[in-house]
Homo-oligomer: A and B are copies of this chain.
Amino acid sequence: MRWARYDDAGTPAYAVVEGDDLIPVRGSPFATWERTASKLPLAQIKLLPPVIPPTFYACGMNYAGHVREVAAKIGQAPNLPTQPDIGYRANNALIGHGEPIVIPADATDKVQYEGELVVVIGRKCKHLTRHDALSAVLGYTIGNDVSERTWQRSDRTLWRAKNTDTFKPMGPWIETDVRLDDLVTKVRLNGKQLIEFRTNDMVFGVVDFLVAMTKYLTLHPGDMVWMGTEGATADMKHGDTCEIEITGIGTLRNPVVREAK
């Protein structure tokens, strides 16, 4: 089942995706809901980020190849995580499928994509076990953890390197029927595939993180966890289109523009 969030004449609303159509619902997947009798053509609808989370979690370094790659880029020694220490991103940066990634005029050319699996929490939970952790997951979507590498190196936090407005594209929708081991992530820039990896080849997996996090943290419906990315990443420039496909979920596509100076 696929849950989309869309712009219903200025008000965010949820709908079920069926083929090329959206079936609007009353309510939301995080509470109670019922289908309406409406049907909207997906192609004509503006999709929104499929959820605005109470807390926006992100794993950061969670694939071995990417840890080595980023370490080289920011001039530090690679440092593979030894425990699942979760990090954070910020809601101001979220945009939906199709919306432009806007590179600020004073950013360098080192603005790069990172294709990530996004775990969306469906219910309030704490003290999850390895046995029941996945039962707290509503479904999965796709995130692009856009990163300005010079700010990532120079600043004390990731505030503008990763949380500049529009730097967190997410979507197109939440897929509830997913087998993690089947997923493959592919990143394409202007149609050319630049990277492909088994989505579930993480240093710490979804269950590892959910169990560790909920030892101390209550998760709430709509909270989400971005699971990190693998491999090398490349610069995106004005006029580019970045696509992140995760097989079985969908494709998140965003154009790139650079602000005029």
Contact = CB atoms under 8 A, between A and B. Distances in A.
Interface string A68-106: 000000000000010101111011110000000000100
A219 interface: yes
Interface stretch (A1-9, A210-218, A231-239, A240-248): A210-218
B217 A159 contact: yes
Contact of A220 (B55, B92, B160): B92
Q: How large is the interface on A (under 10, 10 to 19, 20 to 34, 35 or more residues)?
A: 20 to 34
Tell which of A52, A92, A215 has the most Cβ of chain B within 10 Å.
A92
Interface in A182-228: 213, 215-220, 223
A217 B91 CA distance: 10
A128 B182 CA distance: 47
A21 interface: no
A143 B83 CA distance: 29
Nearest to A61: B156
Contacts of A87: 156-157, 159
A55 B85 contact: no
B157 A216 contact: no
A65 interface: no
Nearest to A217: B92
Interface in A130-188: 155-157, 159-160, 163-165
A88 B159 CA distance: 8
B90 A160 contact: no
B54 A160 contact: no
Given A83-B155, A92-B219, 18 more contacts: A55-B90, A55-B91, A60-B156, A60-B157, A81-B156, A85-B155, A85-B157, A86-B157, A86-B159, A87-B156, A88-B88, A93-B217, A126-B165, A159-B213, A160-B217, A163-B217, A164-B217, A165-B216
20 contacts: A55-B56, A55-B91, A60-B157, A81-B156, A83-B156, A85-B156, A85-B157, A85-B159, A86-B157, A86-B159, A87-B157, A87-B159, A90-B217, A93-B217, A126-B165, A159-B213, A159-B216, A159-B217, A164-B217, A165-B216
Interface of A: 52, 54-56, 60-61, 81, 83, 85-88, 90-93, 104, 126, 155-157, 159-160, 163-165, 213, 215-220, 223
